Structure 1
């Protein structure tokens, strides 16, 4: 794909600063898609579905009490706090959004977990954590924002202990070849401050080159994207006055949701959960 957009960290941070205020209402207090078992959304709230997505990632992490986990792209801290509570682990969350950082820190303190959960303003492209200092790393809809995903994967391998696990969950495309759809993708990536995205079939080699063994690849598109977008569009429709009061900001939020719907309609659209391990005893 040519003419790709090169995102800037400050642009990504500003985007998430803007939507942080609406995350509690529209996204169930998390900054990621929900997981709807069986694809059904009737009677399921966005908060429940967002928690279910976090739980799916926690299940794949398979961490044990006392271990140390990095949440790469922690959002407003809901997944990190839920992970610490359910698995009794220590969590470090990183974000490049000042607004998210403040909300996340307050969340950990309110949950009484400030001693086991902390958040830092860190660009994942420039992580300086000690080598082999984490037992696991999770990335829910954050790896996609990295200008050089291969570099970040190598960095993740470096900070994982032998046998450590990495779990990534995000929208992906299996393959798009026609120029019309590729042109649309270029526009969509710029809207979301995204660099050019690898296709699903490129990830096994990317992980291997970084020193990670990809042992599970799941496409849960049906359980994630259609039901999540249905709830999000319903929320938009029910909050037109509130969005109008927010002016350009409200228009931008509605536009982001519209862009997600168009992505979900692309041939080959998916939502993929990748689970990989670093060589060594776990």
Structure 2
């Protein structure tokens, strides 16, 4: 892709995950989201760490037994299926912009025997195809940084959330603005990962408030998530460089150089990982 981050559209994001979902699934035991290694880091596998993070967010949702949950950014379905297997939820509806992810997630729900309570569909988070006040809880998993208007998406989430319903979000954020000397390199990397721009951590309370939601809790767990997750991703990519290079659309003999550049940019950026809960007043 040659577009700058601010020109990235939902179709770009869909194409990104259509190409990457299978190779990431294989590398991370079906978990496309990051892992959580609480300090001191305990050497857990990616699968264990990712399950730990999913369980944390399930806990943040609160009591959802007998209720309807919307999972925005459902990737290949593992978090939504985990929620259904661990909680007597009435229904989980997962949405993703990627048709490949819908197909993989639907197959996962069928394999795990929860297809009667878990379904997936293609949808743009900025234009959710659901009636007002139709969900008791909304779960947003590492997707707002892919949207050119996170504020619009949060407004849509507030619209479909019932009064008194809870929102739980986990998202990759910037702790500090990007330094001017790193901006060009960041834009190249962000284009490859279909990221219009990361949200700054300090902006989240305002975004939640302007969506008409009441912020309950906000924590930055980046120190226990970002670094080890990036290390795990780097190891997976270097273990199968041809597959990752093809998925990213770069030449195999140039892939090591891309990995090295991403690693340098990641070290230069001050990335955090927000975990927050908010409630729809009413």
Q: Is 2:12 aligned against 1:30?
A: no
Is the contact between residue 91 and residue 118 of structure 1 (CA under 8 Å) also seen in structure 2? Answer: yes
Q: Equivalences for 1:117-266 in 2 at 5 Å?
A: 117-176=118-177, 178-240=179-241, 248=249, 251=252, 261-266=263-268
Cα distance between partner residues in 1 of 2:246 and 2:197:
34
SS in 2 for 1:93: strand
SS in 1 for 2:76: coil
Structure 2 counterpart of 1:71: 71
Q: Is 2:99 aligned against 1:101?
A: no
Structure 2 counterpart of 1:61: 61
SS in 1 for 2:30: coil
Is the contact between residue 5 and residue 189 of structure 1 (CA under 8 Å) also seen in structure 2? Answer: no
Structure 1 counterpart of 2:271: 269
Structure 2 counterpart of 1:47: 47
Cα distance between partner residues in 2 of 1:122 and 1:223:
31
- Please list the CA deviations of residues 157-185 of structure 1 after superposition, one character each: whole Å capped at 9, or x if unmatched: 11111111111112111222531133333
What is the CA RMSD across the aligned residues, in angstroms? Answer: 2.4
TM-score (norm 1): 0.89
**Aligned positions, number:** 277
Shift in CA distance, 259/67, structure 1 to aligned 2, threshold 3 Å = farther
Cα distance between partner residues in 1 of 2:101 and 2:268:
30
SS in 2 for 1:125: coil
Q: Greater shift after overlay, 246-255 or 184-193?
A: 246-255
Shift in CA distance, 256/48, structure 1 to aligned 2, threshold 3 Å = farther
Shift in CA distance, 177/227, structure 1 to aligned 2, threshold 3 Å = closer
